[in-house]
Amino acid sequence: MPAQRPSMDWPRIVKQLGESAVRPNLVDYERSCAEFTWDDARGALDGLPGGLGLNIAHEAVDRHASGPRAHHVALRCLGRHGEVRELTYSDLRDATNRFANALEALGVQAGERVFVLTGRLPELPIAVLGALKRGAVVCPLFSAFGPEPIRERLERGDGRVLVTTEVLYRRKVEPLRATLSQLDHVLLVGTGDTATSVPGTIDLATTLSAASPIYEIPATSPEAMALLHFTSGTTGAPKGAVHVHAAVIAHHATGRFALDLHPDDVYWCTADPGWVTGMSYGIISPLTHGVTSIVDEREFDARRWYQTLQDQRVTVWYTSPTAVRMLMKAGREVAKEFDLRALRFVASVGEPLNPEAVAWGAEVLGLPIHDNWWQTETGGIMISNYAAVDIKPGSMGRPLPGVEAAILRRDEKGRVVVRDGEAEESAPGEEGELALRPGWPSMFRGYLHDDERYRACFQAGWYLSGDLASRDADGYFWFVGRGDDMIKSAGHLIGPFEVESALMEHPAVAEAGVIGKPDPVAGEIVKAFVVLRPGNDATDELRLELIGFGRKRLGAAIAPKEIAFADDLPKTRSGKIMRRLLRARELGLPEGDLSTLEVTQ
Amino acid sequence: MNTDEAREVIARILGQIAPEVDLATVAQDGELQQELDLDSMDFLNLVNGILESTGIDIPERDYPQMQSLDGCARYLVAHSSDRAPGPMS
């Protein structure tokens, strides 16, 4: 996909030490990398008292609550109507203890799965951290999911408890509750002060106020399962990436290096809590650093976002390319109305940040935007730009201390080239597959119930990311494109298979092929090509019906935004839909090697 | 443009973006994005649709006024006289 390759010609953004009011955590990149060990990084955390192991919630909450930061604000939650609710570390300890006790009272055991499906509400981090204290495994769901992705993930993830809101429950879960055989308890966040009384559910607020605020975290092995994050695949059902409590070592270390977190920061992560960024960097990493995190319930609005940066005196901001591009679209005049001088460091993740956006940050925010790269499977930031290190706009930066990354050469079929058990690395500037040497603490430990697909991610001692990239002579990494058919829309990875499967449940649809169509704001949007069953006419009414059908099943974030009818879909001889070819046609690109294409009549 | 005409324009555009929604069942003063399950791309498509069919170019700073069906209709009525020359419905 050469059209996506960013230009490497943008001038380097040179960092001068002394520019920043706060000394960056990483000043000398080479030296930090040389000196870093994961054992030292573990030493920056406390571990459970009495040598009982390592628990994410203790590092994020309790160790601050029992020390000098007890009365420091941990979460400042901005509500839908401008109301503000603050929780200190001490408050957060009590609330999460109550949640852990409530789970215990419900009979929830260590290792059992607690799903969370809410927007950015204070109850969300309380539920997440309280469940981790109990030893339960937390699985976040995206609140823009429709019923089908929710059902599939709850089932595959053995969801025993679900924490959600009354509104989301009524719309998305209640209609399919009878099919969720393993889901025993639903805890509801109500609206306002009145308790919810939805049949088959428990009111969360009532339950928490009845529970004790004292809880002792049981012994927790660093290798005990803590988090489950579903990610889509190009084929087959979504995969549940398993992370363990030791991941907190990486959450903390990467927050220090890649986000430059200092204890007195006011930090704002705009990611949705339904995705891995909202967990690793929306909840865990900032709390392990004892900072104040902003939790804003409302969705993007350019003016209000600037207002929040100004009024909350945000110092470190972690956002997404889509948000940056929407701010750019709103115009620089809007930014000029606000005082953004508190801001010290801006980072972005989700898809490659185009060089224009990096430069826009430098001009309009007065700070360049630091792109970084990681995945659900890596659990934490792996490659990044840093506060005190020069930026090459359009590059994702260089590997974190403790992370070994490489570009591996691929053969014409897209497989990594291995000779004598060793993978062959690409030359500088040569495109290949971005790979990581396993061993960092937040690496996924498996796909739940799917060992085969887990093993397929590794070859010759490397974790293969599925992303194509190159590395230049200075060691900076440059994203090229996905090595597969995955779609990146507004920072979210969407598997075409999940969308195609949903569309094919419609009686008029014989086949569907789904691709990412480039979009100036979202990066890509989901577009479906649909072949109709005989007896159905390709009318505009049917097209709209299919759009609505997709939205009802999948939710707005995953459903196709565009549907086109086709007479047939290009397929390989083995019958696989060639999405790459559909995409090339859509873009008017050369169609490439067609030798495996099935000849259709 | 009067309120009924404004509502009709909005209904027509939303019918392309979220065709599964029966607008009659949606609270007129409820939060549009939540009620209709619109993501930010859908919302931008609504704004673009309004520009294309009425010539009313809604600046970013006015988006907060478009947070409900009622709000959208009010906005169109109030601004239908200052639309840019362009395609008309």
Mind telling me how many Å the CA of B87 is from chain A's nearest CA?
22
B-chain residues within 8 Å CB-CB of A301? 63-64
Report pLDDT for A601: 33
Sheet with strand A446-447: strands edge to edge:
A202-203, A185-189, A159-165, A113-117, A137-140, A225-231, A239-244, A446-447
Residue of B17, B32, B40 to mutate for A, most A C-beta atoms under 10 A: B40
Mind telling me how many Å the CA of B20 is from chain A's nearest CA?
4
Closest to A547 (Cα-Cα) out of A524, A520, A525: A525
Q: What is the reported pTM?
A: 0.87
Report pLDDT for A60: 98
Question: Which residue in the block uniquely carries the two structure tokens 């940040």?
Answer: A353
CA pair distance A150, A163, nearest whole angstrom: 13
How many A×B Cβ pairs under 8 Å? 57
Nearest CB to B20; choose among A329, A330, A548: A548
Cβ–Cβ of A144/B39 closer than 8 Å? yes
Residue-wise over A496-512: b if at least 16 C-beta within 10 A, else e? bbbbbbbbeebebbebb
The residue among B81 and A203 whose pLDDT is bigger is: A203
Q: Rg of chain A over CA atoms, in angstroms? A: 24
Split chain A (601 residues) into runs of 10 and give each run's mean pLDDT.
Answer: 56 82 93 98 97 98 97 96 95 98 98 97 97 98 92 96 95 94 95 82 96 98 98 84 98 98 97 94 98 94 94 97 89 93 95 89 94 97 97 96 97 90 95 96 97 96 95 95 85 87 92 92 93 94 96 93 93 79 83 49 33
Cβ–Cβ of A548/B40 closer than 8 Å? no
Span B22-28, mean pLDDT? 88
Closest to B42 (Cα-Cα) out of B52, B32, B51: B32
Instruction: Give the H/E segment covering residue A210.
Output: helix A204-210
Phi, psi of A296 (to 5 degrees): -105, 120
CA triple A90-A95-A97, angle to 5 deg:
95
3-state secondary structure A42-80: HHCCCCCHHHCECCHHHHHHHHHHCCCCCCCEEEEEECC
- Residues A242 and A445 sit within 8 Å (Cβ to Cβ): yes
Contacts 24+ apart (CB under 8 A), A472-477: A472/A8, A472/A392, A472/A395, A472/A428, A472/A429, A473/A428, A473/A429, A474/A392, A475/A398, A476/A392, A476/A395, A476/A396, A476/A397, A476/A398, A477/A373, A477/A383, A477/A395, A477/A396, A477/A397, A477/A398, A477/A399, A477/A405, A477/A407, A477/A434
Q: What is the DSSP string of A366-388?
A: SS-EEEEE--TTT-S--EE--TT
Residue of A145, A544, A562 to mutate for B, most B C-beta atoms under 10 A: A544
CA pair distance A532, A506, nearest whole angstrom: 10
Evaluated on CA atoms A426, A427, A428, A431, the torsion sign reads: negative
B63 touches chain A (CB under 8 A): yes
Nearest residue in chain A measured CA to CA from B38: A556
Closest to A117 (Cα-Cα) out of A96, A144, A81: A144
CA pair distance B48, B40, nearest whole angstrom: 12
DSSP state, A519? E
Look at chain A and count its residues. 601
In B2-61, the residues whose Cβ lies within 8 Å of chain A are 15-16, 18-21, 33-34, 37-42, 44-45, 60-61
Nearest CB to A556; choose among B39, B44, B64: B39
Nearest CB to A556; choose among B15, B37, B61: B37
Q: Which CATH class is domain A487-587?
A: alpha beta
Report pLDDT for A4: 45
Mind telling me how many Å the CA of A79 is from chain B's nearest CA?
14
Span B65-86, mean pLDDT? 84
- Residues A538 and A568 sit within 8 Å (Cβ to Cβ): no
Closest to A300 (Cα-Cα) out of A340, A328, A333: A328
Report pLDDT for A1: 36
Nearest CB to A490; choose among B34, B41, B45: B41
Beta bridge partner(s), residue A237: none
CATH numbers and ranges of domains, chain B: 3-79 (1.10.1200.10)
Report pLDDT for A591: 62
Report pLDDT for B82: 65
Domain boundaries, chain A: 487-587
Phi, psi of A353 (to 5 degrees): -90, 120
Report pLDDT for A525: 94
Report pLDDT for A389: 96
CA pair distance A577, A6, nearest whole angstrom: 29
B-chain residues within 8 Å CB-CB of A300? 40
**Global ipTM:** 0.87
Residue of A551, A552, A561, A562 to mutate for B, most B C-beta atoms under 10 A: A551
Nearest CB to A522; choose among B21, B33, B41: B41
